[in-house]
Amino acid sequence: MADELVHYDVVGGTATITLDSPHNRNALSAQLRRELSESLDKAQADDAVRVIVLTHTGPVFCAGMDLKEARGAGAGDQGVNEFPKILEQLWTSPKPVVAKLAGPARAGGIGMVAATDIAVAVHEATFAFSEVRIGVVPAVISLTVLPRLNARAAHELFLTGDTFDAKRAVEIGLLNSAVAADELDGEVTRYVKALALGGPKALAATKDLLGKPRPATPGEGFEAMNKLSAGFFASEEGQEGITAFAQKRKPNWVPES
């Protein structure tokens, strides 16, 4: 549809969700939030989808909350109240999510980048936690950003609101990779292909594992982890993977190239 702000497309097991509101730098307006959430639900419910790519049109990935909509609204009517759902959808998605940035991200846009599993940007992309500079707090996004960033960088960048580049974003843990613009598509495709090789149920369980608190010592966690591991070795998916390895073929969950 011509008036939609988020496009959804599935090709070869990859669902691409594209933010398309360049007139306001893909700000998180009410319409964009609604359509983004709906697209994420659609991708997660589709068994044919193995990997989700979150990307954008225009020069900016996402500028954060739509400040025009925020102006004059009371606390109960702020659009940020709907944002935790989107971050939770990204963070807990059973399908791996890859962020593809051909341009800058700010504030809530960085929160979404941090909530994905893999994030790739062009060298020219810049980032800033600009909240304090307009008198607000990066509270909601802290829940996805802080687990990614080292503590010293988080304090500096949250408190100063300074802009930083893609190279530093990689160094502090926000991005997995920064590449030249003409290498962006290839780098994202490399990650997508690698993710699609994993068993769907194994990927979902591994994502869940990565999001859980670590036990105080390995000994405290071995019983539960052994049960999880043994269950997957014996599962239909695990047995298919083991058989495919022995037969030197691809498991039946790998999309046709």
Is it the case that residue 1 has pLDDT exceeding 70?
Answer: no
- Running DSSP on this structure, what letter comes out for residue 177? E
Residue whose token pair is 């994905």: 116
Structural domain spans, the chain:
6-195, 199-247
**Superfamily classification of domain 6-195:** 2-enoyl-CoA Hydratase; Chain A, domain 1 (3.90.226.10)
pTM of the predicted model, to two decimals?
0.96
Return d(Cα 26, Cα 18) in angstroms, integer.
10
Residue whose token pair is 């709906």: 38
Is it the case that residue 135 has pLDDT exceeding 60?
Answer: yes
Sign of CA dihedral 248, 251, 252, 257: negative
How confident is residue 2, by pLDDT bands cut at 50, 70 and 90?
Answer: low
Structure tokens at 70: 């925020």
Average model confidence (pLDDT) for the chain? 95
